[in-house]
């Protein structure tokens, strides 16, 4: 039976939010603060369901991409149950929030779109026995970073594979971490949590990169190493393995261990096993208190747990191991405890808080003040120096030098999506877009990066139709990302590129900030004053709605326009949101 993926609607009663006036000093900025309204109404939220014969998982892109329900079809039990009412609580960066299901997190602050919509795309392999995948993507408002998650369900496994990619889009270190949280979950040292006490829960098997548990959830690094390196891409992956149908009381002191094969529970009452997929030629090795090792064949099929009571075993168990599929140690008990946190990085601390007179301090000054780039020896900074050289070359119109700098950067670190994107821009400007494969390479690394969608659009001939193009709908749907991408092209002196993007984006949804960015670009780099005034009048007719300016260029544009047009009441309202 192949895995399936499909969209659905979740009809649920939800407590509504009251939106408060914009406040540039509030942690919600560049969005508006929220407060619980005390009222509730029925809402329809988009969901995506991943399902095979063993499990059914429901993800809600309209609720920050949370996993809101998980049904274990091996036993008919629910690991996670979608709430009948979405209750709002005070707190969080926006003043009010909703905690439901398994939420993707970026620390130290809560994501501003934890209760909002994230971009998503579904994929199903053409192979009859292929997997299904759900891609989630969010540009972090107020933080120069974005993340992409790929959730994959194989046709023959109850486990869900998570691949997460967090990218620092700035050239300075960010205090930023990633992972996930689950309301009410308490993760033990084996990264397991009983969600239905004594009967079932969820286990985590790290595959790429370790995971560390704390009171906030499971994190990639934790407080011991809170910094994400400049321009860095932090990728991690894990398996989420459900278990259900167990029967354990606290008095039995159950210990749960999890692996790719499934789950093993050991207690004073005996041993229980539940597999995530079928293994025909398995083997159980059992160590007992008398020092003996016993071996037994084990044909393992997904279903309710296989239970061996202590009185059925050849002795009191002290250790157990399961071998299957020609590999040893699919499951091992007991587990040797690993480190509880990542080791601090001196090199990262030097980048984040550079000492006076150091090359890291010179780098910080060059990036923040536009000073000439220093010669750097720090291996973390060398590819970034190439990247910044490429940016500056594009802004100066030296496209050949930009392409060369990108190639140097990619020779040092091939997974730098920003370098591939800048290289694609340079090649297009040089008239070499047809033979250039930069975008294809970048799409392999992060198919959800909205900058790549914008550049793909700019490589196409100008469409004669005035109808909105579906191709740019994901970018238009994320207003803050749309403003950021247009600003990126303006910063690279791509005025006409930005103008063309704005033309298409406002067909989907007209935004004041898009108009202001284009008007400023026209006034600064062209003689198109009439077109700039048209944009200013259009922006003035629109309400003062998010996204609000938070990136340095956006703030500078609002300051410049407000100073040039002091009688424009709308511009002066926007100017009051720029505090520095």
Asked if the structure places residue 247 within a domain, the reply is no
What mean pLDDT do residues 425-442 have?
A: 96
Residue % of the chain over a pLDDT of 70? 99
The whole domain housing 479 covers 370-575
- Residue-wise pLDDT for 82-101, tens only, equals 999 998 888 888 888 888 89
Asked if the structure places residue 192 within a domain, the reply is no
- Residue-wise pLDDT for 398-419, tens only, equals 999 999 999 999 999 988 999 9
What mean pLDDT do residues 246-257 have?
A: 81
Residue 469: partners with Cβ closer than 8 Å, 6 or more residues away: 457, 463, 504, 507
The pLDDT, as a whole number, for residue 297 is 86
Contact between 236 and 220 (Cβ < 8 Å): yes
- Residue-wise pLDDT for 438-471, tens only, equals 999 999 999 999 999 999 999 999 877 788 899 9
Asked if the structure places residue 355 within a domain, the reply is no
Asked if the structure places residue 545 within a domain, the reply is yes
Residue % of the chain over a pLDDT of 90? 67
**CATH number of the structural domain spanning residue 561:** 1.25.40
The pLDDT, as a whole number, for residue 543 is 95
Using alpha carbons only, what angle is made at residue 16 by residues 147 and 182, rounded to the nearest 5 degrees? 45
| pLDDT at 56 exceeding the cut of 80 | yes
Measured distance CA(170)–CA(139) in Å, rounded: 13
- Residue-wise pLDDT for 512-555, tens only, equals 999 999 999 999 999 999 999 999 999 999 999 888 999 999 99
216 pLDDT tier (thresholds 50, 70, 90): confident
| pLDDT at 121 exceeding the cut of 90 | yes
The pLDDT, as a whole number, for residue 464 is 79
CB count, 10 Å around CB of 346? 8
Q: CA-CA distances (angstroms) from residue 237 to 88, 173, 227, 359?
A: 30, 22, 19, 34
Asked if the structure places residue 561 within a domain, the reply is yes
**187-223 b/e (C-beta count within 10 Å ≥ 16 → b):** beebbbbbbbeebbbbbbbbeeebbbbeebbbbbbbe
Asked if the structure places residue 400 within a domain, the reply is yes
The conformation of residue 325, written as its DSSP 8-state character, comes to T
Asked if the structure places residue 429 within a domain, the reply is yes
Asked if the structure places residue 80 within a domain, the reply is no
What mean pLDDT do residues 35-52 have?
A: 93
Q: Where do we find the tokens 């779109």?
A: 113
- Residue-wise pLDDT for 200-213, tens only, equals 999 999 999 999 99
The pLDDT, as a whole number, for residue 342 is 82
The pLDDT, as a whole number, for residue 301 is 87
What mean pLDDT do residues 66-95 have?
A: 92
| pLDDT at 165 exceeding the cut of 90 | yes
The alpha carbon of residue 132 and the mean position of all alpha carbons in its chain are separated, in whole angstroms, by 18
- Residue-wise pLDDT for 379-399, tens only, equals 889 999 999 999 999 999 999
The pLDDT, as a whole number, for residue 239 is 97
Residue 286: partners with Cβ closer than 8 Å, 6 or more residues away: 271, 293, 294, 295, 296, 313, 314, 317, 319, 320
- Residue-wise pLDDT for 308-351, tens only, equals 888 888 888 899 998 887 777 788 899 887 777 788 777 888 88
Q: In the chain, how many domains are there?
A: 1
Contact between 256 and 193 (Cβ < 8 Å): no
| pLDDT at 48 exceeding the cut of 90 | yes
The pLDDT, as a whole number, for residue 405 is 97
Whole-number mean pLDDT of the chain?
91
What mean pLDDT do residues 170-175 have?
A: 93
């Amino acid at each position: 039976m192949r895995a399936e993926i499909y969209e659905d609607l979740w009809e649920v009663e939800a407590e509504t939010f009251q939106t408060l006036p914009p406040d540039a000093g509030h942690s919600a900025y560049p969005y508006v603060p929220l407060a619980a309204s005390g009222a509730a109404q029925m809402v329809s939220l988009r969901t995506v369901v991943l399902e095979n014969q063993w499990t059914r998982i429901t993800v809600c892109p309209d609720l920050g991409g949370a996993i809101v329900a998980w049904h274990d079809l091996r036993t008919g039990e629910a690991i996670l149950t979608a709430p009948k009412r979405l209750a709002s609580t005070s707190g969080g960066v926006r003043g009010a929030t909703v905690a439901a299901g398994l939420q993707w997190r970026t620390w130290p602050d809560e994501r501003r779109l934890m209760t909002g919509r994230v971009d998503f795309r579904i994929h199903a392999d053409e192979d009859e026995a292929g997997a299904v995948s759900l891609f989630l993507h969010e540009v972090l408002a107020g933080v120069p970073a974005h993340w992409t998650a790929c959730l994959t369900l194989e046709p023959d496994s109850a486990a869900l594979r998570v691949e997460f990619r967090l990218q620092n889009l700035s050239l300075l270190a960010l205090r930023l971490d990633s992972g996930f949280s689950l309301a009410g979950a308490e993760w033990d040292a084996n990264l397991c949590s009983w969600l239905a006490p004594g009967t079932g829960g969820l286990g985590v098997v790290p595959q790429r990169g370790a995971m560390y548990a704390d009171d906030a959830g499971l994190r990639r690094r934790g407080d011991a190493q809170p910094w994400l390196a400049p321009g860095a891409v932090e990728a991690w992956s894990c398996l989420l393995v459900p278990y259900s149908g167990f029967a354990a009381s606290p008095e039995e002191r159950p210990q749960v261990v999890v692996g790719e094969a499934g789950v093993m529970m050991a207690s004073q009452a005996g041993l229980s096993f539940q597999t995530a997929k079928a293994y025909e030629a398995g083997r159980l090795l059992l160590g007992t208190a008398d020092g003996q090792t016993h071996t037994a064949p084990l044909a393992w099929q997904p279903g309710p747990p296989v239970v061996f009571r202590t009185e059925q075993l050849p002795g009191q168990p002290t250790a157990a191991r399961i071998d299957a599929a020609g590999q040893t140690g699919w499951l091992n008990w007991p587990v040797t405890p690993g480190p509880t946190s990542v080791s601090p990085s001196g090199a990262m601390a030097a980048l984040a808080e550079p000492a006076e007179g150091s090359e890291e301090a010179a780098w910080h000054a060059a990036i923040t003040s536009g000073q000439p780039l220093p010669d750097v020896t720090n291996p973390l900074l060398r590819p970034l120096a190439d990247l910044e050289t490429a940016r500056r070359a594009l802004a100066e119109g030296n496209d050949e030098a930009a392409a060369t700098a990108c190639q140097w950067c990619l020779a040092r670190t091939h997974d730098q999506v920003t370098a591939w994107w800048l290289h694609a821009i340079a090649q297009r400007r040089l008239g070499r877009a047809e033979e250039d494969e930069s975008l294809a390479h970048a799409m392999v690394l992060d198919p959800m990066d909205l900058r790549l969608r914008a550049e793909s659009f700019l490589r196409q001939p100008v469409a004669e139709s005035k109808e909105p193009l579906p191709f740019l709908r994901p970018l238009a749907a994320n207003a803050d990302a749309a403003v950021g991408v247009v600003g990126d092209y303006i910063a690279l002196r791509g005025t006409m590129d930005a103008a063309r993007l704005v033309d298409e984006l406002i067909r989907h949804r007209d935004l004041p900030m898009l108009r202001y960015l284009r008007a400023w670009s026209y006034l600064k780099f062209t003689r198109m004053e009439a077109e700039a005034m048209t944009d200013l009048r259009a922006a003035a007719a629109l309400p003062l709605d998010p996204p609000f300016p938070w990136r340095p260029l956006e703030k500078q544009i609002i300051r410049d326009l407000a100073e040039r047009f002091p009688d424009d009441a709308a511009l002066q309202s926007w100017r009051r949101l720029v505090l520095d």
